[in-house]
Amino acid sequence: MEAGNNTGFSEFLLWGFSEKPELQSLLFGLFLSMYLVTCTGNLLIILATITDSHLHTPMYFFLLNLSFIDICVSSTTVPKMLVNLQTQIRVITYAGCLTQMYLFVLFGGLDDFLLAVMAYDRFVAICHPLNYTAIMNPQLCVLLVLGSWTMSAINSLLQSLMVLHLSFQSHLEIPHFFCDLYQIIQLSCSDTFLNEIVMYFAVGLLVFGPFTGIIYSYFKIFSSIRAISSAQGKYKAFSTCASHLAVVSLFYGTLLGVYLSSTASPNAHSSATASAMYTVVTPMLNPFIYSLRNKEMMKALKRFFGKEIIKFLGQRGCL
């Protein structure tokens, strides 16, 4: 079926998790809980960052964007997965599949870029503390975020347009719980050589590029920390980047798990489970990492809740 006739069929089938009926309710409750925690935790970070003037710094500006993207990553895949688990109707339209794929590639790339931008921010803060304010000025922060959005959007649009030219069988089953770019390319009955070349080139440029920047930034950071004479000074310097380092380890660790599971095992359930770590678990854990290990964020959250409680009591006439 040629690309121009792709509208001749309108549905794909999404598979990936256990088909046992007794597990569907358990999986639904588990992923719904995790999704709600993800949205609530990241939304609280966004609200605290916006409302608290103490957090109006480059690091928390980037964290605000990361929290927003984490919500978007989960919202791209989890709601559809929950509907499929609850209704046992695993259908997604062709247009819906392409839209989901586009958004997932977009927000996944943004995650990668923002972690690299945040690593650069920590590099400047620790290695060039006297010039931090001058270097990380508001204009540069906005440009870094806009540049991340632009590059991710171009890559996502390019990948989606190339998928439009692929042909598929009339009954296509995707062995996943969402429309993953790699899975769609593998299931096409067209020649996918060009798609694979572009996809792997994008992975090399947009994944390993930022990762290399993160590695370089932390190499310079650790070199600067080692040069600090006092133990207290070393601890204070390291604590400013500990949360980001934990998030980076979690992000790339889950990506590596997804890659290894897809290459080492043809089992679709194993691949879907590994992908759930990246799309559901990682966005859920990020707020906890940045909240529990960050005294400024904890204080901001307490001030935020304190204001809301006072406002609520005032409206009730209790104050």
> Is the per-residue pLDDT at 5 higher than 50?
no
Q: Which residues contact 173 (CB under 8 A, 6 or more apart)?
A: 12, 13, 15, 187
Cβ atoms of residues 131 and 124 within 8 Å = yes
Per residue in 163-190, pLDDT tens? 988 888 766 788 788 888 888 888 888 8
Listed residue (61, 226, 74, 97) closest to 174, CA to CA: 97
Three-state DSSP class for residue 87: helix
Strand partners, 93: 11
CA atoms of 119 and 123, how far apart (whole Å):
6
Q: What global pTM score does this model have?
A: 0.88
CA dihedral sign, ordered 11, 12, 14, 20: positive
pLDDT in tens, 288-299: 888 766 777 777
- Encode pLDDT of 105-130 as tens digits: 999 999 999 999 999 999 999 999 99
Banded model confidence at residue 98, pLDDT cuts 50, 70, 90: very high
In this predicted structure, the answer to whether residue 301 has a pLDDT above a threshold of 70 is yes
- Examine the pLDDT at 192 and tell me if it is beyond 80: yes
- Mean pLDDT across 271-289: 82
**Among 151, 155, 76, CA closest to 116:** 151
Average pLDDT over residues 271-299: 79
Q: Do residues 141 and 61 lie in contact, with contact meaning Cβ atoms separated by under 8 Å?
A: yes
> What does the pLDDT read at residue 278?
79
Mean pLDDT of 29-33: 93
Please determine, for residue 228, whether its predicted confidence score (pLDDT) is greater than 70.
Answer: yes
pLDDT tens digits, residue range 142-168? Answer: 999 999 999 999 999 999 999 988 888
Lowest mean pLDDT among 71-80, 129-138, 219-228, 275-284: 275-284
Please report the domains of the chain, with CATH numbers, ordered by start residue: 3-315 (1.20.1070.10)
